[in-house]
Amino acid sequence: MDPVTAIGVVASVLQIASNCGNIIQSLSHLKSRYKHAGPTLDALGSEVDQIKDNLTTLKSILEEKDHSFAEMLKSRRDLQDTVTKTLQGCEVVFNLLSKELAKILSSSAESEKKLDIIRITKFTKNEKIFKDYLTQIRGHQTALTMLCQILQMYALVSTSMEPESKLVIGNHLMTLLNCCARSIPF
């Protein structure tokens, strides 16, 4: 990803969102094979779907007509770093989860004819893996939500506000940006 350009960010967002859609389909397929696996897979699917929604929001913010966010990305190194870390973290986790799901789905297709107790045991082992991914994804979800809030606050600052208000919001922006950078589980 090219961290300096809004086009690079939008391209990364689209790639990650596409991967999210594939993961949601894989989770649905896996859930249909393992009837008892509902809560963990439901929670994982819900978190992935929320991240996909946040990515759509981020894409919309970055594609605004006045290109103010593209300019802000070029001028603010701290924001570039936060956006880059947030998106790279999501990309890594989703790529790993996607590979894990493909492996589980292929092995579950092979063991379709085996006894149910063996399938349940294998899935219980995989459920721990899913819970680990769920924890990581929740951290990335928090970081993406904060990033969208930061960018939306920037829109407030760049509109015609009183100078005192701009200063207060600008200070809060820096605090949020630092919190966002620290919350990324990567």
Mean pLDDT of 88-115: 79
What's the full length of the chain, in residues? Answer: 186
- 76 occurs within a structural domain: yes
- 36 occurs within a structural domain: yes
Q: Taking 70 as the threshold, does the pLDDT of residue 120 lie above it?
A: no
- pLDDT tens, 75-85? 778 778 888 88
**CA 82 – CA 86 distance, rounded (Å):** 6
**Tokens of residue 64, six digits:** 């605004």
Residue type, 79: L
**CA 130 – CA 100 distance, rounded (Å):** 9
- 31 occurs within a structural domain: yes
State the residue range of the domain holding 75. Answer: 6-183
How many other C-beta atoms lie within 10 A of the C-beta of residue 152? 12
For the chain, how many structural domains are there in total? 1
Mean pLDDT of 125-144: 87
**CA 37 – CA 59 distance, rounded (Å):** 33
pLDDT of residue 149: 83
Q: Which residue from 130, 159, 147 is spatially nearest to 183, judged by alpha carbons?
A: 147
Percent of the chain with pLDDT over 70: 66
pLDDT of residue 33: 74
pLDDT of residue 22: 93
**CA 43 – CA 54 distance, rounded (Å):** 17
Mean pLDDT of the chain: 78
- 144 occurs within a structural domain: yes
- 153 occurs within a structural domain: yes
- 83 occurs within a structural domain: yes
- 1 occurs within a structural domain: no
Q: Taking 70 as the threshold, does the pLDDT of residue 114 lie above it?
A: no
Q: Taking 80 as the threshold, does the pLDDT of residue 157 lie above it?
A: no
Diameter of the chain measured on Cα atoms: 70
pLDDT of residue 2: 46
- 57 occurs within a structural domain: yes
92 neighbors 17 (Cβ within 8 angstroms): no
- pLDDT tens, 2-48? 445 667 888 888 899 999 999 999 988 888 876 666 788 889 999 99
Which pTM was predicted? 0.78
